[in-house]
């Protein structure tokens, strides 16, 4: 293992990422993939993930804000980068020479951007965002689209919307997704505007939609858009969170454990301490409800997960010793110690757990079955 503090780390398997992209392509058909790498590529490391995707032939990316786009550009990621969120007009003009695409979500913003672009003598490449049912960012009518398309200084590259319930197969939700698609398609196709509409749920469950791009997010990382529906065969999680045993002690019946004394031993209990806590991304709601893996065997979390440390019960794993690797979240796609299963227990979604992996957690990248790169933030 490459030299780093042997504490807690995440392993990102780029071989599995490549397999996932191949399967997504089989669903996307002739549509190009826009890889969603916002929020540090959902906690996986944005630049490293994007460069691995470049190696898979992916040339379109999307992020949340200008700073994320600049990070990819500085890392020499190849391809265009769509910025989903608001970008201050002067900052957009400062970065118009880069491979960035800016989202226009209102006529007012488009007019402001157009005026600045004309004054600067430049063309700003944009994607128009349509609100077709999320009630979030976007215009809603063809008339608004025409006003934006007529503005000088802007070059419209595509129009897009975001599905609200594409990850659901309930009849009402499927009908609403169809309605959202029709609202966008009616406007874009009649104006020859390229479009993208399918997020991860749309890719998996609505692959017949006619569009020019698909946006691969959580499914690309190997997790379910909706916990109720399994992933296609072959798609795997590229993420695991690991730590080590740093101390072992045996406590006697009646002894309590961790903050709040929520766990009381009812027999002699062999406890192991791991230097991994909620500041590293080990969700506190899993306290007393989660099994990590030690020597390939489940070890229950005892008491509350702390900020920096967690105690686990290794009574039934006599071979466990100081220095042994502990898998906190495994790369299973579901069940056992997977991120998706952890999210279900914690009452949240895999997206949140992945995005909450802390900056003090190094990311170790695996490629061709070997350790490739180590990303440290601190």
Q: How far apart are CA 324 and CA 316, in angstroms?
A: 15
> Is residue 359 included in any domain, yes or no?
yes
Q: Which residues contact 55 (CB under 8 A, 6 or more apart)?
A: 18
Same structural domain, 99 and 148: yes
Same structural domain, 263 and 141: no
- Mean pLDDT, residues 119-133 taken together: 98
Same structural domain, 265 and 348: yes
Identify which has the larger pLDDT, 5 or 320: 320
Residue with tokens 């914690």: 346
Helix, strand, coil percentages (3-state) for the chain, rounded to 5, are 30, 25, 40
Q: How far apart are CA 309 and CA 275, in angstroms?
A: 4
Same structural domain, 197 and 61: yes
Q: How many CB atoms lie within 10 A of CB 252?
A: 9
- Residue pair 307/356 in contact by the 8 Å Cβ criterion: no
Same structural domain, 178 and 266: no
Q: Is the pLDDT of residue 1 over 90?
A: no
> Is residue 9 included in any domain, yes or no?
no
Query: For the segment 229-240, what is each residue's pLDDT rounded down to a tens digit?
Result: 999 999 999 999
Same structural domain, 51 and 185: yes
Q: How far apart are CA 121 and CA 335, in angstroms?
A: 56
> Is residue 285 included in any domain, yes or no?
yes
pLDDT at 252: 98
Query: For the segment 275-297, what is each residue's pLDDT rounded down to a tens digit?
Result: 999 999 999 999 999 999 999 99
Same structural domain, 215 and 82: yes
pLDDT at 5: 63
CATH number of the domain that 195 lies in?
3.20.20.10
Residue 30 per-residue DSSP state: T
Q: Show the DSSP H helices in 150-267 as ranges.
A: 171-189, 200-205
Q: How far apart are CA 60 and CA 132, in angstroms?
A: 23
Query: For the segment 77-101, what is each residue's pLDDT rounded down to a tens digit?
Result: 999 999 999 999 999 999 999 999 9
Q: Provide the residue range defining the domain that includes 280.
A: 239-330+332-375
Tell which of 167, 186, 221 closes a domain: 221
pLDDT at 270: 98
2 has which bridge partners?
none
> Is residue 196 included in any domain, yes or no?
yes
Tell which of 189, 221, 253 closes a domain: 221
pLDDT at 186: 98
Residue 212 per-residue DSSP state: S
CATH number of the domain that 359 lies in?
2.40.37.10
Q: Which residues contact 186 (CB under 8 A, 6 or more apart)?
A: 142
> Is residue 363 included in any domain, yes or no?
yes
Same structural domain, 295 and 183: no
Structure tokens that stand for 354 in this block: 């992945």
> Is residue 234 included in any domain, yes or no?
no
Residue 267, Ramachandran bin (φ over 0: left; ψ between -120 and 50: alpha; else beta)? beta
Tell me how many domains the chain contains.
2
Q: How far apart are CA 124 and CA 220, in angstroms?
A: 29
Burial of 269 (0-12, 13-18, 19+ CB in 10 A): buried
Same structural domain, 67 and 201: yes
Q: Kindly list the catalytic residues.
A: 38, 259
Same structural domain, 243 and 370: yes
Torsion, Cα of 112, 115, 120, 121 (10° steps): 130
Q: Which residues contact 64 (CB under 8 A, 6 or more apart)?
A: 38, 39, 83, 84, 85
Q: How far apart are CA 70 and CA 99, in angstroms?
A: 10
3-state secondary structure of 201: helix
8 has which bridge partners?
243
Q: What's the predicted TM-score (pTM) here? A: 0.96
> Is residue 226 included in any domain, yes or no?
no
> Is residue 261 included in any domain, yes or no?
yes
Same structural domain, 293 and 370: yes
b/e per residue 307-326 (b: at least 16 CB within 10 A)? eebbbbbbbebeebeeebeb
- Kindly list the distances between the CA atom of residue 148 and the CA atoms of 91, 110, 184, 368, in Å, as whole numbers in the listed order: 20, 6, 15, 47
Percent share of the chain, pLDDT over 90: 96
Residues found in the chain:
378
Same structural domain, 204 and 283: no
Tell which of 187, 221, 255 closes a domain: 221
3-state secondary structure of 265: coil
Query: For the segment 10-64, what is each residue's pLDDT rounded down to a tens digit?
Result: 999 999 999 999 999 999 999 999 999 999 999 999 999 999 999 999 999 999 9
């Amino acid at each position: 293992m490459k030299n780093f503090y042997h504490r807690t780390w995440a392993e990102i398997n780029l071989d599995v990422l490549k397999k996932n992209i191949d399967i997504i392509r089989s669903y996307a058909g002739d549509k190009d993939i826009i890889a969603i790498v916002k929020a540090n590529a959902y906690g996986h490391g944005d630049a490293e993930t994007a460069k691995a995707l470049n190696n898979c032939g992916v040339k379109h990316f999307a992020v949340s804000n200008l700073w994320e786009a600049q990070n990819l550009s500085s890392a020499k990621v190849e391809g265009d980068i769509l910025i989903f969120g608001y970008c201050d007009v002067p900052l957009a003009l400062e970065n118009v020479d880069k491979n960035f695409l800016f989202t226009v979500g209102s006529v007012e913003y488009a007019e402001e951007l157009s005026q600045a672009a004309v004054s600067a003598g430049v063309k700003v490449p944009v994607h128009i965002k349509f609100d077709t049912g999320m009630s979030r960012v976007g215009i809603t009518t063809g008339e608004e689209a025409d006003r934006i398309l007529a503005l000088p200084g802007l070059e419209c590259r595509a129009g897009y919307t975001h599905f609200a319930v594409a990850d659901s197969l309930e009849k009402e939700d499927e009908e609403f997704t169809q309605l959202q698609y029709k609202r966008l398609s009616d406007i874009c196709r009649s104006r020859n505007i390229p479009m993208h509409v399918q997020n991860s749920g749309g890719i998996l469950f609505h692959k017949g939609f006619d569009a020019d791009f698909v946006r691969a997010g959580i499914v690309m990382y190997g997790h379910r858009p909706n916990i109720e529906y399994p992933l296609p065969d072959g798609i795997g999680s590229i993420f695991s969170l690991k730590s080590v045993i740093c101390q072992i002690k045996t406590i006697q019946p009646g002894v309590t454990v961790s903050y709040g004394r929520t766990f009381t031993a009812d027999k002699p209990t062999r406890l192991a301490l791991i230097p991994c806590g909620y500041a590293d991304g080990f969700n506190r709601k899993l306290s007393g409800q989660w099994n990590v893996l030690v020597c390939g065997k489940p070890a229950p979390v005892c008491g509350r997960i702390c900020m920096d440390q967690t105690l686990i019960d290794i009574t039934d794993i006599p071979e466990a010793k100081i220095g042994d690797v502990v898998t906190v979240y495994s790369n299973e796609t579901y069940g056992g110690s997977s991120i998706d299963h952890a999210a279900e227990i914690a009452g949240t979604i895999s997206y949140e757990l992945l995005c909450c992996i802390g900056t003090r957690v190094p990311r170790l990248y695996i490629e061709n079955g070997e350790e490739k790169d180590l990303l440290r933030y601190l």
